[in-house]
Structure 1
Amino acid sequence: MTDHLHPVLDDAAIARMTSLALAHVGDAVYEILVRTHLACGGTQTAKNLHSRTIQLVRASAQAEAVKRIQPMLDEDEQTVLRHGRNAKPKSVPKSASVAEYAYATALEALFGWLYLKGRYERINELFEVICQGFDAK
C-alpha cells in the first residue's frame, strides 16, 4: 500500500516542481500544523478553532512568520524561500498586500519543500519558533 502521508521523492523530482507547486503542498502542511496546535492547545469550540486558524494562516500572519524564522534558515532553505517569494501567482487576495502574499507563498513553498524531503524534524523546529509568535498575540 502506498503511504500518501509520507511521499518519497528523490531530490531531482522535488527540484522539478515549481515554487507554486511546493507552496500548494506547503499550504496544507502549514494549515494542519496550525489546526493541530490550536486543537491540542485547548481551543475547543469549532467557531474559536476556525476563527483563530484563519487569523494564523492568512498572508499577513505568514509574512510575520517568515521574519521569525528567516535568520535560522540554511542556504538551501533560503533559496527555496527566495524562489517562493519571487513566484508569480495569478492573483493576490484583497485581504493581503502583494508583499505579504509573496512572503506567505515563500513560507508555504518552504514548508512544502521540507515536507516532500521528509524533513519533519526541521518543520517542527521552525514551527516551534513560529508558535512563539502565536502566543505573543
Structure 2
Amino acid sequence: MKDYSLLSGLTLAYIGDAVYEVYIRDFLIRSGHTRPNQLHHLATRYVSAKAQHYLIEQMQDQEILTEAELSIYKRGRNAKSHTSAKNTSVAIYRSSTGFEALMGYLHMMKQTERLEELIRWSIKRIGEKNETR
C-alpha cells in the first residue's frame, strides 16, 4: 500500500501509539531520567489516554491542526474498537485513539517535521500542566 492515508483509524493508532511512546521515552532519557520505575511513571503523564485526550483538546482549542489532520483524528476517534477503556471513560479512550491515529498518519506519510513539531508542542503542554499541579 502506498497511500497510507487510506488506512483505518485503528491501524494508524496502532503505529501512532508506538511512535509517540518512543519519542516520549527518548525525551525522558535525554532529560536525565534513567531509573526504569521513574521512567514508567513519568511516561504515563504523556502517553495515558487522559493526557492524549487533554493534548488533542488543546490542539483543537488552539486551532493548530490542519483540516487533513483533524479529519485523521476524527477517523481514529470514531473507529469502532474491540478493546475497552481501562481506568477512563469511553469518550476519553476514543479521543486518545484519535490522537494516536494522527501520530501514526504523520509517521506513515513521512511528515516527520510536522510529527516532531506536534510532539514537541505536546511535551511542552504536559510540562506546563504538571507545573500547575
Q: TM-score, normalised by structure 1?
A: 0.87
SS of 2:57's partner is: helix
Residue number among 87, 106, 122 corresponding to 1:130 in the alignment: 122
SS of 1:106's partner is: helix
8 Å CA contact 2:107–2:115 kept in 1: the answer is yes
Is 1:94 the equivalent of 2:86?
A: yes
What is aligned with 1:32?
22
What is aligned with 1:5?
none
What is aligned with 2:71?
79
Counting matched residue pairs gives 127
SS of 1:100's partner is: helix
- Deviations along 1:48-100, one digit per CA (max 9) or x if unpaired, are 10111123211001101112223111111111011111011112233111111
What is aligned with 1:19?
9
8 Å CA contact 1:68–1:130 kept in 2: the answer is no
SS of 1:72's partner is: coil
What is aligned with 1:3?
none
Is 1:59 the equivalent of 2:49?
A: yes
Q: TM-score, normalised by structure 2?
A: 0.89
- Deviations along 1:91-114, one digit per CA (max 9) or x if unpaired, are 223311111101110010000000
8 Å CA contact 2:46–2:123 kept in 1: the answer is no
Gaps of at least 5 residues in structure 2 are none
Gaps of at least 5 residues in structure 1 are 1-8
What is aligned with 1:4?
none
